[in-house]
Amino acid sequence: MNIDVGMFLYYIPPYFASGIENIEHKKRLMLVISKNNQDNTLTLINISKVSGKPAWFTYSFNVLIRNYNPPLPKLSFAKINDNYILENFKGLDKFLYKNGQKINNQEFNNIIYRYNKYIKNNKIELISFTKDDFFKTNI
């Protein structure tokens, strides 16, 4: 299956912002926000559930996903201040969440609108890793 924008990947990122290693080895849900066929990469943003994190909405870099189900099981938000750049390699589709079911179009467009607005005045941290890095935490 082809991975496309609006789909989610569910995997263990080897690194977080500032190069911090993911020592917990917890899976994260990531939304594909762009696909670059020239350098064969995907740009992803972290998706997190709202439950237990009410203060997170005071930050301008978090976007509430109101129409979340399907494919998300719980009210969630997108963290637009960090981008994960991942090599789009053969076999990555095995990590698609809910068989590649896409986020609601209106929600995706809202996230992209807020993302584009945010990056005009704020710095985005890029967390980049290769297929080899990916398989250090995802076997």
Higher pLDDT, 27 or 1: 27
56/13 Cα distance (integer angstroms): 21
Task: Answer yes or no: is 2 within a domain.
Answer: no
Task: Answer yes or no: is 36 within a domain.
Answer: yes
Task: Answer yes or no: is 73 within a domain.
Answer: yes
Judge whether residue 58 has pLDDT over 90: no
Task: Answer yes or no: is 23 within a domain.
Answer: yes
Q: Answer whether 77's CB lies under 8 Å from 60's CB.
A: no
Q: pLDDT digit string (tens) for 65-115?
A: 999 999 999 999 999 999 999 999 999 999 999 999 999 999 999 999 999
* pLDDT average, residue stretch 57-72: 91
Judge whether residue 54 has pLDDT over 80: no
**For residue 111, which of 121, 103, 100, 123 has the smallest C-alpha distance?**
103
- Domain total for the chain? 1
Q: Answer whether 50's CB lies under 8 Å from 78's CB.
A: no
Task: Answer yes or no: is 31 within a domain.
Answer: yes
Q: Dig out the tokens for 86 from the structure.
A: 């991942």
Task: Answer yes or no: is 95 within a domain.
Answer: yes
Can you give the residue range of the structural domain that contains 132? 8-137
Task: Answer yes or no: is 91 within a domain.
Answer: yes
* pLDDT average, residue stretch 105-126: 96
Per-residue 3-state assignment (H helix, E strand, C coil) for 55-79: HHHHCCCEEEECCCCCCCCCCEEEE
